[in-house]
Amino acid sequence: MNDIQILGKIPLYGEISTQGSKNAVLPMMAASLLHRGTTTLMNVPCIEDVSCMVGILEKLGAKVAREGRQMTIDASCLDSCEISLDYVRKMRSSIMVLGPLVARMGQAVTHYPGGCSIGKRPVDYHVQLLRDLGLTVTEEDGRIEVKADRYEGTELSLCFPSVGATENAIMAAVGARGETVIRGCAREPEIVELCCFLAKMGIETLGAGSGTIRVRGQRSRKDPIYRVCGDRIAAGTYLAAAAVTGGEICLTDVPVSYMDTTLRALCACGCLIMTENDRVRLQAPKVLKPLSYLETAVYPGFPTDMQSVFLAMLCLAPGESRIRETIFEGRFETAAELAHMGAYIEVKENCARIVSDGRLKGAQVTARDLRGGAALIVAGLAAEGRTVVKECDHVDRGYEDIITDMRQLGASVERIRDTKAHRNMAG
Ligand code: UD1
């Protein structure tokens, strides 16, 4: 098992660049299936979820080559319509391959991805939108099959602005004849990025970033080359890490315009933030301020993916803070782990009340999910003594190399492969 050991209370200083965005690159990789040619993506993060998506594309017959952070996907010939079950289990976002695959092949098969530790995460919106688009969807024993001969552009409407369902609907609509109007869309930056990427393929969309997106059904015309933007959640995590340690860091390659609410929340905690183009400098206050109320919301609201990291950060802000989670029902699991470090967090339904004396102590804790794991690393950086975060494979799904990055900023962090090694070190 992949554990991380941290010796806390070392202020972070220095400058590093931000990795490419996980949530932007995954739909782009799926969308590469729409193109009977070669797609080139740059600034692709080397993370587990990307490797998983590579596996899916290769099993469908695409040829994928990676050189550092550059990836080429040759989807000229595909020889399968079935998304491999192995990958469906590993990564929920495999569902977003359905739309482009059916648009390209007229048929697509996957399996129900099931729940995960942050909530039930059903795929009913995805399925409904594909049906509303005129596709035949059959669901049997967890298998989902989508079929279409020719389908026409139409009007679609989302009952909740789901990010993944919006992306799936856009990509499926590319295969329709005529225009599809999608209402009630998510406005997340990753959707804007997806549509800019599609434009490089010669596929026209209108309205990305607003609640209504129009997609003109058409064939891709150009081999796209696209640079993936910086990861707003990874950037937010690193800024929070500097904030809790009382340090001062500068991040480059930050998608500043996509991070407004996160940067505002950091300011509200007393951090001094300076931005210039794609650079963000954070100077931590001597003592963090608590937040009387922070609520997650769909974009442009405060991102649910930052919630766990802020939960950890507010455990170090003397006083009382409150967080309400409105997107995923099970996203306070990290609270119990933080309690092992001396945090006092009362969770009632989707609200957490944090009462802090400004200190955490090192302990052995377990990463329950990707962002929760990152939150525990942030907590460990500020805690007194040694923290071991177990099961950090979750963290590797989304962070390229958090250990090297934290070390570069001066932290004492190392990976310990198994618990026996840890016991020996502890002894
Ligand atoms: C994406 C992000 C994830 C982020 C989330 C919300 C990727 C790869 N992942 O996930 O990091 O936390 O947006 O910003 O981009 N829902 C349904 N039925 C559905 C689909 C969603 O009930 O068919 C519910 C979910 O359970 C959740 C809410 O809608 O409660 C939002 O989910 P959604 O926006 O779809 O998140 P994802 O696209 O899965």
Least Cα distance to 215 among 262, 165, 173 occurs for 173
> Alpha-carbon distance 340 to 362, whole Å?
8
pLDDT, one tens digit per residue, over 226-263 is: 999 999 999 999 999 999 999 999 999 999 999 999 99
pLDDT, one tens digit per residue, over 273-288 is: 999 999 999 999 999 9
Computed over every residue of the chain, the mean pLDDT equals 94
Ligand 1 atom nearest 327 alpha carbon = 30
- Ligand 1 pocket by Cβ (under 6 Å): 23, 26, 93, 119-126, 160, 162-165, 186, 190, 304-305, 327-328
For the entire predicted model, the pTM comes to 0.95
Distance 121 CA to ligand 1 centre (A): 7
What is the phi/psi pair of residue 400, to 5°? -65, -55
Widest CA span of the chain, in angstroms? 69
Mutate to test the pocket of ligand 1, among 97, 126, 327 (most ligand atoms within 8 A of CB): 327
Six token digits for residue 93: 């976002």
pLDDT, one tens digit per residue, over 343-360 is: 999 999 999 999 999 999
Provide the pLDDT for residue 117: 65
Ligand 1 atom nearest 127 alpha carbon = 23
Provide the pLDDT for residue 418: 55
Distance 162 CA to ligand 1 centre (A): 5
Six token digits for residue 94: 């495999």
pLDDT, one tens digit per residue, over 165-215 is: 999 999 999 999 999 999 999 999 999 999 999 999 999 999 999 999 999
Provide the pLDDT for residue 120: 65
> Alpha-carbon distance 205 to 243, whole Å?
39
Ligand 1 atom nearest 188 alpha carbon = 14
Is the pLDDT reported for residue 15 higher than 50? yes
> Alpha-carbon distance 29 to 39, whole Å?
9
Residues with catalytic function? 116
Distance 347 CA to ligand 1 centre (A): 22
Distance 421 CA to ligand 1 centre (A): 38
Nearest CA to ligand 1 atom 29: 162
Q: Tell me, what DSSP letter sits at residue 119? A: B
Six token digits for residue 58: 């290769």
> Alpha-carbon distance 92 to 122, whole Å?
10
Cβ atoms of 251 and 209 within 8 Å: the answer is no
